[in-house]
Structure 1
Amino acid sequence: MRVQSFPPIIDERARVLVLGSMPGTASLEKHQYYGHPRNYFWPVLYGLFDEKPDVEYDRRIAFAQSHRFALWDVIATCERVGSLDVNIKEEQPNDIPGLIARYPGIRCLAFNGSKAHDTFLKVFGGDRALASIDRLKLPSTSPVPTPRMRSAADRLEVWRAVLPYMV
């Protein structure tokens, strides 16, 4: 099935652009970034500031933006059955260079997982316009445990690397 990502959530305050691969099925159904209730993204983002996530999605977005985060995906559209990145095929990228040109305050690209990072490098790795922006390959906030990342707390410690970009 062909799936499509959401428009970016960004404003002039943004300093860190969090890039996922493609929203999962639950997120697409809810029309929300990181909409699966077990995804660790919102607990990690709020945890960076020692807070608990708001229940309402609009408040979560406002929180992210007030802390200078922008959200988008590397992939604009792809073929995928289910939610797993391993099932992504025939992906078409979003115009990340164009977004960065419109929002020059972005200082860091924070990749939410390997698929986002690897797809970005495959498509945009040689783009000179993006060369001056720092990149952080962070562990996925997917609830699927890995040998090193078992919980939100594990991910939170690594995600703290974004904090210096917030000033």
Structure 2
Amino acid sequence: MSNRISSFAPVISKTSKILILGSVPGVKSLEMQQYYAHPQNQFWRIIFELLGKDFSGDYETRIETIRKNNIALWDVIDTCEREGSLDTKIRNEEHNDITKILNDHPSISVIFCNGQKSFKNLKKILGEESEIPVFVLPSTSPLHTISFDKKLKEWEIIKHFYEET
């Protein structure tokens, strides 16, 4: 397999308090060079709903919105081999340096994993016991077929940490 792909740089600031970790960008995201670019991925819709903001399709507005709300965004996997967008097709992954980003940004107080793959890989990096609370949330991918309302309800846990910021 020679389809080696790479994740994007983190979206983070010195005031970030919440870190949301995906696995690795899908085909559409890589093509657009944007986090969660697939039009059926519900990530941005969920985030705007949780923040009580009017939804925007503009990527720069999306990034500015999470930055202003002290939310950081990154992927657990730095590079891997994968055909298509399925996490189950990921092979030979190399991880991002999550420990370094946490050390460099001590304001981060909680991590949310967007799906099981990012959670399982994060556990490989941080071990079973993390000093920072880690929550696994249902994937926002269109391939994870539970309803938007069900995903939103589970993602609402972020509001408990957001309200503390």
Q: State the TM-score, normalizing by the size of structure 2.
A: 0.93
Counterpart in 1 of 2:132? 133
- Counterpart CA distance in 2 for 1:154 and 1:50 is 18
2:98–2:125 CA contact under 8 A, matched in 1: no
2:23–2:87 CA contact under 8 A, matched in 1: yes
Question: Which residues of structure 2 form unaligned runs of 5+?
Answer: none
Counterpart in 1 of 2:62? 60
Identity among equivalent pairs (%): 39
Counterpart in 1 of 2:149? 153
Counterpart in 2 of 1:142? 141
- Counterpart CA distance in 1 for 2:108 and 2:39 is 28
The offset of 1:49, in angstroms, is 2.3
Q: State the TM-score, normalizing by the size of structure 1.
A: 0.92
The offset of 1:79, in angstroms, is 0.4
- Counterpart CA distance in 1 for 2:50 and 2:102 is 24
Counterpart in 2 of 1:9? 11
- Counterpart CA distance in 1 for 2:121 and 2:71 is 21
Counterpart in 1 of 2:106? 104
The offset of 1:63, in angstroms, is 0.5
Aligned partner of 1:110: which letter?
A: F
- Counterpart CA distance in 2 for 1:159 and 1:117 is 15
Counterpart in 2 of 1:79? 81
1:43–1:52 CA contact under 8 A, matched in 2: no
Deviations 1:24-76 (A, max 9, x none): 00000100000111100000000102333212100000001111110000000
- Counterpart CA distance in 2 for 1:18 and 1:105 is 14
The alignment partner of 2:72 has SS state of: strand
- Counterpart CA distance in 1 for 2:54 and 2:87 is 28
Counterpart in 2 of 1:69? 71
The offset of 1:124, in angstroms, is 2.3
Deviations 1:118-156 (A, max 9, x none): 111123215x7xx2211110000001244xx22x22111
